[in-house]
C-alpha cells in the first residue's frame, strides 16, 4: 500500500515538473535565439551607426527596387511598405544578408550602407 502511495506522489510531482521543464528549455532556447544576434559584431556595428535615409534610398533603388518596386510597393518580391512595423531591425538585417530566401540574393553591405538602407526602409 505504501508503495502505491509513493508512486502516486511521484507521478504527481512529474505532472507539474515536466511541463515546467519543457517551458524552461523551449523558452530558454527561444530567448537565446533572440539575444544571440545582438552579440554579432556586424549587427552591433550596424545598430551603432546612424543611417541617412536619402543615401539609403539610392542604395535601395540600385539593389532592391528591381524586385521590390521603386517605392517598395512590391514586384517579384513582396511589398516592403510598413516593413519596419512588421519586422525588427535584426530580422531585416538577417533577411538582407542571409540569402536564405531565393531568388533574393545575399547582400554584403558595409555597416554604414546597411544603416542607411534600414533608415530608408523605416520611411516606407
Ligand atoms: C532578385 C529579386 C530581389 C532583390 C534584388 C531583393 N529582394 Fe528582397 N525579397 C525578394 C523575394 C522573392 C522575397 C520573398 C522571399 C520569401 O519570403 O520567400 C523578398 C523578401 C524580402 C524581405 C522580407 C519581406 C517580409 O515581408 O518579410 C525584405 C525585408 C526584403 N526582401 C528586403 C530587400 C532589400 C532591402 C533588398 C535590397 C538590398 C532586396 N530585398 C532585394 C526578392 C528580392
Helix (H, G, I), strand (E, B) or coil at 104: coil
For the Cβ of 87 lying below 6 angstroms from any atom of ligand 1, the answer is: yes
The residue with greater pLDDT, 6 or 12, is 12
Ligand 1 center from residue 68 Cα (angstroms): 7
Q: For atom 29 of ligand 1, which residue has the closest CA?
A: 92
Instruction: Give 70's DSSP letter.
Output: T
Mean pLDDT of 77-99: 94
pTM metric for this prediction: 0.80
Taking only the tens place, the pLDDT of each residue in 28-45 is 888 888 877 778 889 999
CA of 32 to the centre of ligand 1 (A): 26
Instruction: For Cα atoms 80, 48, 69, give the angle at the middle one, nearest 5 degrees.
Output: 15
pLDDT category at 15 given cuts 50, 70, 90 is confident
Amino acid at each position: 500500500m505504501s508503495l502505491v502511495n509513493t508512486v502516486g506522489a511521484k507521478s504527481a510531482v512529474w505532472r507539474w515538473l515536466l511541463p515546467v521543464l519543457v517551458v524552461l528549455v523551449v523558452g530558454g532556447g527561444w530567448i537565446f535565439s533572440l539575444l544571440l544576434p545582438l552579440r554579432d559584431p556586424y549587427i552591433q556595428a550596424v545598430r551603432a551607426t546612424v543611417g541617412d535615409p536619402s543615401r539609403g534610398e539610392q542604395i535601395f533603388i540600385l539593389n532592391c527596387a528591381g524586385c521590390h518596386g521603386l517605392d517598395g510597393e512590391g514586384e517579384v518580391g513582396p511589398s516592403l511598405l510598413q516593413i519596419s512595423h512588421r519586422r525588427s531591425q535584426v530580422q531585416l538585417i538577417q533577411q538582407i544578408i542571409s540569402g536564405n530566401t531565393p531568388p533574393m540574393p545575399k547582400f554584403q553591405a558595409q555597416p554604414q550602407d546597411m544603416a542607411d538602407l534600414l533608415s530608408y526602409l523605416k520611411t516606407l
